[in-house]
A = this chain, B = another copy of it.
């Protein structure tokens, strides 16, 4: 029985592959025509070799590079099963990576939505907050007047290496105390929220992950301006004093950009919150 012979155009149609790809597979030695007409240089393929495209197309579909496919062609069945197990593990890694991204996006969104709900008109409000993981470093004597974006460099790089997606807000803590003016405040820690439930394992000694506990917080949110900053803080203190709340934590301060347009004036949302115990009545 004489074997069927197909032109490159016919194979392209039968196998739903471009002629260009078939030419490239030929060059690479991945799928070579059975016969090349010496006069016209036209490529012809045997029917019996078409099944070779199955492995090529299937591995291409799961993202295997062509050079790897070429190696896979030389494997026996046992080795091919081992090769597929490797591919399976790679796919599993990608899935885990994407599940993590999905979760992070969802946490970022939830945080942004909560901020939108909050009252930003500079009045004190009481909020029952969920717990929040943060990664923090010693503030090394920095104050509201000296703190730099650049001060967060180490925290951000650490977050980036371990989680990829980085914080969208800059945090700092300082003790709850009777300040006469802004110059008297010195930060205790700087921090950024951890946007993942993932375990953070390899920690350098100057960084630590802690959890801000869930509970009742007295809060104030406002658009940052140098004039209002201390004024708003005093309002929070006065409110706590008036209501005879017992204070259970430092002040947590969050700076979050309101937008990321480099073409507009920078605007930051400031949130200050402190954990309280409401007097039992």
Contact = CB atoms under 8 A, between A and B. Distances in A.
Interface in A1-46: 1, 4, 6, 13-16, 29-32
Contacts of A259: 73-77
A1 B160 CA distance: 30
Contacts of A203: none
A105 interface: yes
Contacts of A73: 259-262
A87 B58 contact: no
**Count of this chain's copies in the oligomeric assembly:** 2
A182 interface: no
A269 to B, nearest CB: 9
A259 to B, nearest CB: 6
A81 B113 contact: yes
Q: Which 9 A-B pairs have the closest CB atoms?
A: A50-B149, A14-B153, A55-B260, A61-B164, A73-B260, A88-B105, A47-B148, A91-B102, A47-B149
A109 interface: yes
